Amino acid sequence: MKISTEINSFRRFGGVEQILTLLKESGFTAYDFSMFSGGVADGIMLADDYLEKAKALRAFADKLGLPCNQTHAPFATARKGDEAYNAAMYPKIVRAIEVSGVLGAKVCVVHPCNDYTAEENAVLYKSFENVARKAGVKIGVENMWNWDEKEDHASKAACSHHDDFKKHMELLPDDVFTACLDIGHAEMTGLDTNAVRMIETLDKHLGAIHLHDNNRWGDNHAIPFTYNIDFEAIIQAFEKIGYKGDITMEADRFASKVPVELIPAAARYLAAVAEYFRVRLEK
C-alpha cells in the first residue's frame, strides 16, 4: 500500500521535480500527478512532445524512487448539453490517459459528467476504454456533487449516492474501470450517504481513494482530523471490505495555505497522517 498526495498544492515550492523531491524526502512513497489546467502539469500537457516530456519525468521519478500511483485527468470531463466544450475536452482526456501510462500510474481519475445518468456516463467512459487498455491504466470513477443554492448544501450528481455509484461501476468492465472514492465528497450534507455506506456498497469495486476532511457541509479538502469526519468508522469500513488500494491524500487546502517556508514541514505532517492510515489498514 503506497502513501501518495496530489502535487498541485505544492506548486509554490517549485517545479514538478522539486515537488517530487520534497515528497520523497517527506516520507511519501508515491505521488498523484494532477493534470488540471493551470497547474504544475501544464509543462507536459500543453507540449507538442508531451509523451517525450512524460518519459523524462518518469525517468526522474524512477531514479528518485517515487512512483506515480495515480493521476487526475483535466476537469470537467464533459458538460451536459455543451457539445462544443465536450469536443474540446475529449482529446485532453485522451492525452491525460496516455501520459498516465507513461508515468506508470495505476489509476487515472476521469470524473463523470455531473449531470449524466449512469447509462450516459457509461457511454462516455467506454469511449476511453481502448486508450486506457493500450496505456495499461485503470480509469478511476469518482463520486461528485452539485450545489443547491436555495437549500445551501450539496445536491445530487453522478455517483453522489452509494447506489448510483455502484450502478455506474456495474455498467463498466472492472478490468479497466475502478471506483475512486472521494471521502470528503461522500460526507457532504444533502447527498443522503456517507463514506462508510459508500465503502460497504462499493466493496470489490473500490480501488482508489481521495482522503481529506471537511465540516460535513462544504468541500473543504482539509487534512484529516481537523474537521468533522469520523475517520475511525471509515477505517473500520475499509478493514471490513479488505481494502488493498493506496492512500492518496487530497488535502490541497492545507498545503496551499501555509507560508512557503513551512511547506516542507506541511509535507512531512501530511505524509505522517497518510502513514497513520496505511499502518491502520495494513495491520
DSSP code per residue over 27-67: T-S-EEEE--TTSTTHHHHT-TTHHHHHHHHHHHHHHHT--
Give the three cell numbers for residue 224.
484529516
Q: Classify residue 243 by its DSSP letter.
A: -
Band (pLDDT 50/70/90 cuts) for residue 50 is: very high
pLDDT on residue 77 = 98
Summarize pLDDT for 60-102 with one digit per residue, the tens: 999 999 999 999 999 999 999 999 999 999 999 999 999 999 9
Higher pLDDT, 37 or 27: 27
User: Checking DSSP bridges between strand 153-155 and strand 146-148, what pairing results, if any?
Assistant: antiparallel
Band (pLDDT 50/70/90 cuts) for residue 17 is: very high
pLDDT on residue 143 = 98
Measured in degrees and rounded to the nearest 5, phi and psi for residue 179 equal -80, 130
Residue-range domain boundaries for the chain: 3-282
Q: What CATH architecture is 3-282?
A: Alpha-Beta Barrel (3.20)
Residue 254 in contact with residue 10, Cβ under 8 Å?
A: no
pLDDT on residue 255 = 87
Other C-beta atoms lying within 10 Å of the C-beta of residue 79: 15
Band (pLDDT 50/70/90 cuts) for residue 283 is: confident
What does pLDDT average to over the chain? 97
Q: What is the mean pLDDT of residues 187-197?
A: 98
Summarize pLDDT for 122-167 with one digit per residue, the tens: 999 999 999 999 999 999 999 999 999 999 999 999 999 999 999 9
Ranges of beta strands (E only) in 56-160 are 68-72, 107-109, 138-142, 146-148, 153-155
**Is the full-model pTM beyond 0.85?**
yes
For residue 32, pLDDT over 90 is answered with yes
pLDDT on residue 5 = 98
Give the three cell numbers for residue 54.
512524460
Nearest to residue 271, comparing CAs of 18, 80, 28? Answer: 28
pLDDT on residue 161 = 98
Q: Classify residue 268 by its DSSP letter.
A: H
Q: What is the mean pLDDT of residues 100-112?
A: 98
Ranges of beta strands (E only) in 219-273 are 247-249
Q: What is the mean pLDDT of residues 205-223?
A: 98
Identify any residues that bridge with 147 across adjacent strands, giving them in sequence order. Answer: 154
Nearest to residue 251, comparing CAs of 231, 235, 271? Answer: 271
Q: What is the mean pLDDT of residues 155-184?
A: 98
